[in-house]
Chain A
């Protein structure tokens, strides 16, 4: 078997033990490649555990800039004896295995069709360090040095990164630099392998950022002043990043006092309750959670819908149902959020495709919530939320102002403007609200989950109830004008087939479209960015005979929503589903679409190899 020989296009997987300090060394590796001007797509594959279980970090070095997972491993950095067999088996034929050769292994533990590069890492560290913790931690930096040599990464880039990371901590910097050099010098004497990183200029101004941090910053820029949350993987870092960013950006000059409040609540019910209380009282408020949290919040979400409270919820979706797979990714909360709560309810959902959109939609969600006076769900998933993505730098229009929607001021009330909390004065289904404490004599009302008339007076009259429910439908129709529009692009050749996706599916999807095109399958494409669906969504489906709907759940939830809300005949929508919890790959989509395309007579009928 000829060893793989590739430049700037291969996959490195690090196999580690959770809690061994590998995460920061692995992240350094990814950032060093970026500093070489070569894009990467990186993913942590981790267990629901703090210490001791296997964990992996996969770095796809990809000059073409694809952001999805590729599938297949070209170089395995095997640092966990427990997963050795599995790790070795995963390597592509002709690939490479880098391992700790301190303890000799019998030839039967290796493969003939891969190249093994052994380095006595443990022995090197044991000789160098006496402290047990140091022996463990510096192993990671030693193999980072070795990889830099093997893959031709400029050691100066790594040293610069170390200098930035340990700025002001000179002794730590020196120790890390030394460990890095030990690894680098050792492997330099052994020569390079067929995988190579060459300097390019393909990263530019782009940043390497995770979606949870971006969403938190979006909330900050969106003017949120109250965050109430309960820890749950994979969403906890939204609230934690909000706290960290507020600490930097939201302290009152002079006093240092907080222009925000963050409460770690006793559970998700209390989180959403606080958000609703804060939003009712005029402060932009949000919570961050995952599927199980959304389940717990259902009753309150119904209240917020019916009482028309502008709440914002970030749902970082994970493997479900129930506890499911907390550290795995899925897009499986779509229906649960779209129709959250008992009774007739529908909610506005936003679908960011990457951390950049997490920031933008994270901020926009607060304008939408105030404008539409209803809960807004920003639907992330673990893949976007917890993984670093290469994306365009974040920008902000300094002329932009918060849209607080229809809020009656004391002056409005004093001037005698007619106020009815549920009165549709403009015909768009959106009533005006007042913030408690606005005016001594006018504008007070009683907020209820039960029935009321247009002036918020209690009534059990059926016609008043229907009147209100119909207005809420009108308001949902109005929402279509405000939510982000779908992005539609045509194939390079006229076609009668199309494809629809949303969120993190986009990364492997756009890569797959290029592959499909090479196989002669041309698809018009639409990325849905929000619910309720714009009219353009139904029009897109109507223009095509067959439309693939690619998503990451078992039950084709987006397809269900399209059938249900747009009155589309189900047979026109062909489900392409991936839900094993791992990030979707272009290879998977290409294979699935090619197979189904043949069945549905989408030309051509040529079989596509995976």
Chain B
């Protein structure tokens, strides 16, 4: 239960990051999701990523919509402010929050129902506005909290637990995000933490709209034969285009450079994505190529994972708004209220 706190005492030798925080400082209360739920693995990856990056938890705001995935922000970053908002409308709440204070890190957590069905409009617009955020969709192709209805990302022909077959075309949020202008687009698998953690770290340091679609099997309603979002199916059809190590400016560079097919992508703030290409023909900076590649593999029933697209020097909403350097929520009377003298001019123009 979420109100059961984890024991405060922990092993004295728990590793600490640069700030002196242990992994425990990035956790939340115990998850109430089903045992084996892919979402819990994603929460664990988020905890690991923020621990590794040594980001102070209170500098993160985590926002979500409604659904199983949207419950998860309770279970990580317990010392961050969180907002469990309205079904499908997290993007607008996150946009407003991001405008109010440009200095925090905004982590939006959503699901396939939340983002691809009820919230597809807001999903589209938050991407095209280039809100500086990490937007994670925990994608299981199914409505968990209401017990097993198909969502809009369920593959055509996919079989529900009770036998119904999905007859509608699926929405691929990755392709959508690419077309709509997201400047960092990736897909991960909840069962592959090694791939997922660096993806999240790179997304956090990306200064623009970063989107990660994480295929996350639902053990209760979508992990049976005939499902295309089960652990077995994804493991069998996962087509990873690259592996990456993310080297933050916050961390000492210790990763050894692997030989062959390596490409460094320098991030805005000096961090580096070190891409190990698994498919030599795949270029993560080529949007058109990425779309073609994704579609070709989708038609073969393959789930392409990895860093699919990254723009080196993205711009974000604050840039297009031309807002001041300091957060808007710190401006006081002196900066905001022009005073009576300015009204005299205004009045004079209306006589």
Contact B92 A444 (CB under 8 A): no
Contact A401 B333 (CB under 8 A): yes
Q: How far is the CB of A345 from chain B (nearest CB, A)?
A: 14
Chain B positions within 8 Å of A256 at CB level: 322
Chain B positions within 8 Å of A205 at CB level: 347, 351
Instruction: Of the listed stretches A59-67, A133-141, A431-439, A493-501, name the one at the interface; the rest are far from the partner chain.
Output: A431-439
Contact B324 A283 (CB under 8 A): no
Chain B residue, CB-CB nearest to A223: B336
Chain B positions within 8 Å of A450 at CB level: 84
Instruction: Of the listed stretches A121-129, A390-398, A515-523, A562-570, name the one at the interface; the rest are far from the partner chain.
Output: A390-398
Contact B121 A266 (CB under 8 A): yes
Chain A residue, CB-CB nearest to B125: A266
Q: Is the C-beta of A281 less than 8 angstroms from some C-beta in chain B? A: yes
Chain B positions within 8 Å of A279 at CB level: 96, 100
Contact A283 B99 (CB under 8 A): yes
Contact A258 B100 (CB under 8 A): no
Q: Is the C-beta of B101 less than 8 angstroms from some C-beta in chain A? A: yes
Q: Is the C-beta of B73 less than 8 angstroms from some C-beta in chain A? A: yes
Chain A residue, CB-CB nearest to B96: A277
Q: Could you tell me which residues of chain A, from 425 to 480, have a CB within 8 Å of some CB in chain B?
A: 434-441, 444-450, 457-459
Partner of B103, one of A265, A394, A437: A437
Q: How far is the CB of B119 from chain A (nearest CB, A)?
A: 10
Given contacts A259-B331, A266-B122, A446-B73, is CB(A440)–CB(B56) below 8 Å?
A: yes
Q: Is the C-beta of A163 less than 8 angstroms from some C-beta in chain B? A: no
Interface 1/0s, chain B 298-331, versus A by CB < 8 A? Answer: 0000000000000000000000011111001101
Contact A398 B58 (CB under 8 A): no
Q: Is the C-beta of B229 less than 8 angstroms from some C-beta in chain A? A: no
The interface centre, meaning the residue of A34, A275, A397, A458 with most chain B CB atoms within 10 A of its CB, is: A458
Q: How far is the CB of B53 from chain A (nearest CB, A)?
A: 16
Q: Is the C-beta of A384 less than 8 angstroms from some C-beta in chain B? A: no
Contact B350 A265 (CB under 8 A): no
Partner of A249, one of B83, B322, B323, B342: B342
Contact B92 A249 (CB under 8 A): no
What is the number of residues of chain A that contact chain B, defined by CB distance less than 8 Å?
A: 75
Q: Could you tell me which residues of chain B, from 61 to 81, have a CB within 8 Å of some CB in chain A?
A: 61, 63, 73-74, 78-81
Give the distance in Å from the alpha carbon of A250 to the alpha carbon of B122 in the complex: 29
Contact A226 B343 (CB under 8 A): no
Give the distance in Å from the alpha carbon of A438 to the alpha carbon of B61 in the complex: 11
Give the distance in Å from the alpha carbon of A436 to the alpha carbon of B77 in the complex: 13
The majority secondary structure among interface residues of chain A is loop
Chain B positions within 8 Å of A275 at CB level: 96
Q: Is the C-beta of B137 less than 8 angstroms from some C-beta in chain A? A: no
Give the distance in Å from the alpha carbon of A7 to the alpha carbon of B351 in the complex: 22
The interface centre, meaning the residue of A261, A393, A434, A439 with most chain B CB atoms within 10 A of its CB, is: A261
Q: Is the C-beta of A208 less than 8 angstroms from some C-beta in chain B? A: yes
Q: Is the C-beta of B85 less than 8 angstroms from some C-beta in chain A? A: yes
Contact A283 B101 (CB under 8 A): yes
Contact B100 A277 (CB under 8 A): yes
Contact B3 A458 (CB under 8 A): yes
Give the distance in Å from the alpha carbon of A188 to the alpha carbon of B278 in the complex: 89
Chain B positions within 8 Å of A444 at CB level: 57-58, 78-82
Give the distance in Å from the alpha carbon of A441 to the alpha carbon of B83 in the complex: 18
Interface 1/0s, chain B 1-31, versus A by CB < 8 A? Answer: 0110000000000000000000000000000
Give the distance in Å from the alpha carbon of A203 to the alpha carbon of B328 in the complex: 40
Contact A270 B89 (CB under 8 A): yes
Give the distance in Å from the alpha carbon of A269 to the alpha carbon of B101 in the complex: 21
Q: Could you tell me which residues of chain A, from 313 to 368, have a CB within 8 Å of some CB in chain B?
A: none
Q: Is the C-beta of B340 less than 8 angstroms from some C-beta in chain A? A: yes
Contact A281 B58 (CB under 8 A): no
Partner of B335, one of A259, A280, A299, A458: A259
Q: How far is the CB of B56 from chain A (nearest CB, A)?
A: 6
Contact A273 B84 (CB under 8 A): no
Chain B residue, CB-CB nearest to A34: B351
Chain A positions within 8 Å of B343 at CB level: 393-396
Chain A residue, CB-CB nearest to B343: A394
Give the distance in Å from the alpha carbon of A272 to the alpha carbon of B124 in the complex: 17
Give the distance in Å from the alpha carbon of A262 to the alpha carbon of B317 in the complex: 11
Give the distance in Å from the alpha carbon of A450 to the alpha carbon of B83 in the complex: 11
Q: Is the C-beta of B337 less than 8 angstroms from some C-beta in chain A? A: yes
Chain A positions within 8 Å of B347 at CB level: 205, 207, 393-394
Contact A283 B328 (CB under 8 A): yes
Contact B93 A273 (CB under 8 A): yes
Q: Is the C-beta of A267 less than 8 angstroms from some C-beta in chain B? A: yes
Q: How far is the CB of A70 from chain B (nearest CB, A)?
A: 23
Give the distance in Å from the alpha carbon of A393 to the alpha carbon of B351 in the complex: 10
Contact B96 A226 (CB under 8 A): yes
Give the distance in Å from the alpha carbon of A397 to the alpha carbon of B325 in the complex: 29
Chain B positions within 8 Å of A398 at CB level: 339-340
Q: Is the C-beta of A487 less than 8 angstroms from some C-beta in chain B? A: no
Partner of A267, one of B85, B121, B322: B121
Contact B100 A285 (CB under 8 A): yes
Q: Is the C-beta of A373 less than 8 angstroms from some C-beta in chain B? A: no
Given contacts A257-B325, A258-B324, A270-B125, is CB(A437)–CB(B96) below 8 Å?
A: no
Give the distance in Å from the alpha carbon of A249 to the alpha carbon of B341 in the complex: 11
Q: Is the C-beta of A225 less than 8 angstroms from some C-beta in chain B? A: yes
Interface 1/0s, chain B 201-212, versus A by CB < 8 A? Answer: 000000000000
Partner of A278, one of B57, B97, B321: B97
Contact B86 A449 (CB under 8 A): yes
Q: Is the C-beta of A300 less than 8 angstroms from some C-beta in chain B? A: yes
Give the distance in Å from the alpha carbon of A46 to the alpha carbon of B59 in the complex: 51
Interface 1/0s, chain B 236-262, versus A by CB < 8 A? Answer: 000000000000000000000000000
Chain A positions within 8 Å of B56 at CB level: 440
Chain A positions within 8 Å of B101 at CB level: 281-283, 436-437
Give the distance in Å from the alpha carbon of A477 to the alpha carbon of B135 in the complex: 40
Q: Is the C-beta of A186 less than 8 angstroms from some C-beta in chain B? A: no
Contact B351 A208 (CB under 8 A): yes
Q: How far is the CB of A62 from chain B (nearest CB, A)?
A: 18
Given contacts A225-B331, A277-B96, is CB(A261)–CB(B85) below 8 Å?
A: no
Q: Is the C-beta of B280 less than 8 angstroms from some C-beta in chain A? A: no
Contact B92 A274 (CB under 8 A): yes
Q: How far is the CB of B266 from chain A (nearest CB, A)?
A: 27
Partner of A280, one of B57, B97, B333, B342: B97
Give the distance in Å from the alpha carbon of A394 to the alpha carbon of B3 in the complex: 52
Contact B97 A436 (CB under 8 A): yes
Q: How far is the CB of A383 from chain B (nearest CB, A)?
A: 18
Contact A437 B58 (CB under 8 A): yes
Q: Is the C-beta of A175 less than 8 angstroms from some C-beta in chain B? A: no
Chain A positions within 8 Å of B323 at CB level: 257-261
Listed by A's residue number, 27 A-B pairs whose Cβ atoms lie within 8 Å are A226-B99, A250-B338, A252-B324, A257-B325, A261-B321, A266-B122, A267-B121, A270-B95, A271-B92, A273-B85, A273-B92, A277-B94, A277-B99, A278-B99, A281-B97, A393-B343, A395-B343, A402-B333, A436-B80, A437-B103, A437-B104, A439-B58, A444-B58, A446-B73, A446-B81, A447-B84, A447-B85
For the complex with contacts A271-B92, A394-B347, 19 further pairs of A-B residues with Cβ separation under 8 Å are: A221-B337, A225-B328, A257-B323, A258-B323, A258-B324, A259-B336, A260-B328, A263-B321, A269-B92, A270-B121, A273-B89, A279-B96, A393-B347, A396-B339, A436-B80, A441-B79, A446-B83, A447-B83, A457-B3
Q: Which B residues lie at the A interface, using CB under 8 A?
A: 2-3, 56-59, 61, 63, 73-74, 78-86, 89, 91-101, 103-104, 121-122, 124-125, 129, 321-325, 328-329, 331-333, 335-340, 342-343, 346-347, 350-351
Q: Which A residues lie at the B interface, using CB under 8 A?
A: 34, 203, 205-209, 217, 220-221, 223, 225-226, 228, 249-250, 252, 255-263, 265-267, 269-283, 285, 299-300, 303, 393-398, 400-402, 434-441, 444-450, 457-459
